[in-house]
Amino acid sequence: MSIYQEQILQHYHNPSNNGILQNSTHSSSRNNPTCGDKMRIDMIIKDNKITDISFSGEGCAISQATASMLTEQLKGEKIEKLNNMTKEDIISILGIELSHARLKCALLSLETAQKALNNPKYNEKR
Amino acid sequence: MNTINTEKIKKDFQIFKNKPNLVYLDSGATSFTPDIVVKSMDEYYYKCRANTSRGVYELSEKATQKYEKVRRKVKNFINANDESEIVFTSGTTASINLVAFGLKDTLKHDDEILITASEHHANLIPWQRLVNNENLKVLNISSTGEIDLDEFKNKISKKTKVLAIAHVSNVLGTIYPIKELIKIAKKNNPQIITVIDGAQSVPHIKTDVLDLDCDFLTFSAHKMCGPTGVGVLYGKKTKLDKLTPLFTGGDMIEEVTFKNSIFTEIPHRLEAGSANISGVIGLGSAIDYIENIGIENIRNHEIKLLEYATNKLKETFGDEIEIFGPIDTKKRSGVISFKFKSYHPHDIASILDSYSNICVRAGNHCAMPLHNEVLHVLATTRASFYFYNTKKDIDIFVKGLKKVEQILK
């Protein structure tokens, strides 16, 4: 089965939550050095709840689509949900099998979001 | 010059039998290995499996002979003066590190090292560790992947201790005018040490170290039909002699006391520890195989593929595809790195693989500064050819790219 399923391509072409949140309380950036992907996640967290979340950066269809799907899943949720998310959750959201190399692309947004969560004071200057 | 019969050649490689529909366009990363090379290594394990230069018994003697015979073979292959100028390593990266570390004690703090903006990380990072940031000078590469000779002349002074440059860029495919560059460099500074990264050139174009007049040349067996984990460091005798060994230990000494050791002569001084014996034997067999086809025939075949591919890509996709590097195929090796619309190279490579069985490389090809600071792209997709590739491979590749377009739209 190809990894380029209709659902993934739809998110790639029309991503949800794509952009920068100016008033974010948590944000973080991460790169994937092998392919040059760049990912930034911004979040607004109030009372342990992710009231808003966005992603930005450049990357392949898999990393962009995953970020879109992940942010959809996290918006309005408690931060525990993000904290407890694992590789397996990402694979199940995508619904496809990924090779080792492409798994890195898929995990970039989750890793960036978790990094932001655990570094609340970290605020990247742009 | 003979035309290469790819039909016949493919029969020399078991992998084409096992994967008949495979279109392998990543020989720049690593080449396929013909059965005869694999067999030569098996034979070592089956018939003369012993260590070299250690045993006095016949089996070890035989292994040593086989190993040393390859040294002569490599010497002839690159036209070195003497077989003691050939050091076996684990690959190009190890060879360059051996030179860089070996020169450490002879460099002064205000010495300069000159590299180009297109170097592979293996010919960049070892030099970064050797001198201060501001003393590692980087030669610009033009938008057509070329060097400006005037800039080059200006950048070589008496302070330039080392010139480290790839003969062929692994991304742009540019064949740099090494002979001319070395001539200029030595005119400006007769003491300069020239280190040529031949990883992408030795497998594809005739390389003559006496004609080039380089001090060091490095290359890997696995990009020229040989096994993985073997490489060569060639150095002029007078220059190799001065290198401080990076590795010390067994087999590289004359005499050892608890306080001191006296090292032996080159090349063994730079080959501490048990060698990759089967690998070196495989390299010898790979050289035989390549010489049998003829390196000029290989180059000629690659030029034809390069012209065919470039024309076909332009015809089919026009400006939607941007090919980096020189347009003139005489200045270019069989490497095509490109940008295709706004598609990410990972997506291109994944789709080519899953729909058309095509292997290409995606990423920065171990040349991150070249991508970020010269080409200004995050990554490129690279197709690279060898003598077993065909025009049919390229037709499938172009068709595969159409599929990419269809899927990503």
- H/E stretch holding A83 reads helix A79-84
Query: What's the CATH code, domain B37-292?
Result: 3.40.640.10
Instruction: Report yes or no: B381 and B338 within 8 Å, Cβ to Cβ.
Output: yes
Interchain contact, A2 vs B355, CB within 8 Å = yes
Kindly tell me if the per-residue pLDDT of A121 is higher than 60: no
Nearest-angstrom CA–CA distance, A38 and B105:
40
Active site residues of B: 366
Instruction: Report yes or no: A103 and A87 within 8 Å, Cβ to Cβ.
Output: yes
Q: Which of A2, A12, A60 sits opposite B346 (nearest CB)?
A: A60
Instruction: Report yes or no: A69 and A11 within 8 Å, Cβ to Cβ.
Output: yes
Q: Which of A60, A94, A99, A102 should we substitute to test contact with B (largest number of B Cβ atoms within 10 Å)?
A: A60
Nearest to A19 by CA among A96, A71, A60: A71
Instruction: Report yes or no: A17 and A42 within 8 Å, Cβ to Cβ.
Output: no
- H/E stretch holding B14 reads helix B14-18
pLDDT score at B78: 98
pLDDT score at A4: 87
Its pTM stands at: 0.93
Q: Which structural domains are found in chain A, ordered by start?
A: 6-114 (3.90.1010.10)
Residues of chain B with pLDDT below 50 are: none
Query: What's the CATH code, domain B6-30+294-408?
Result: 3.90.1150.10
pLDDT score at A2: 78
pLDDT score at B106: 92
Kindly tell me if the per-residue pLDDT of A124 is higher than 70: no
Here the ipTM equals 0.84
Nearest to B365 by CA among B124, B141, B184: B124
Nearest-angstrom CA–CA distance, B16 and B361:
19
Nearest to B197 by CA among B119, B254, B144, B128: B119
Q: Which of B339, B341, B343, B350 should we substitute to test contact with A (largest number of A Cβ atoms within 10 Å)?
A: B350
Nearest-angstrom CA–CA distance, B373 and B352:
28
SS3 letters across B158-183: CCEEEEEEECECCCCCEECCHHHHHH
**Alpha-carbon gap: B1 to the closest alpha carbon of chain A (Å):** 40
Interchain contact, B378 vs A9, CB within 8 Å = no
- Which chain A residues touch B346 with a CB distance below 8 Å? 35, 37, 60, 62, 101-102, 105
Domain ranges of chain B: 6-30+294-408, 37-292
Nearest to B27 by CA among B357, B263, B361: B361
Interchain contact, B378 vs A105, CB within 8 Å = no
**Alpha-carbon gap: A36 to the closest alpha carbon of chain B (Å):** 5
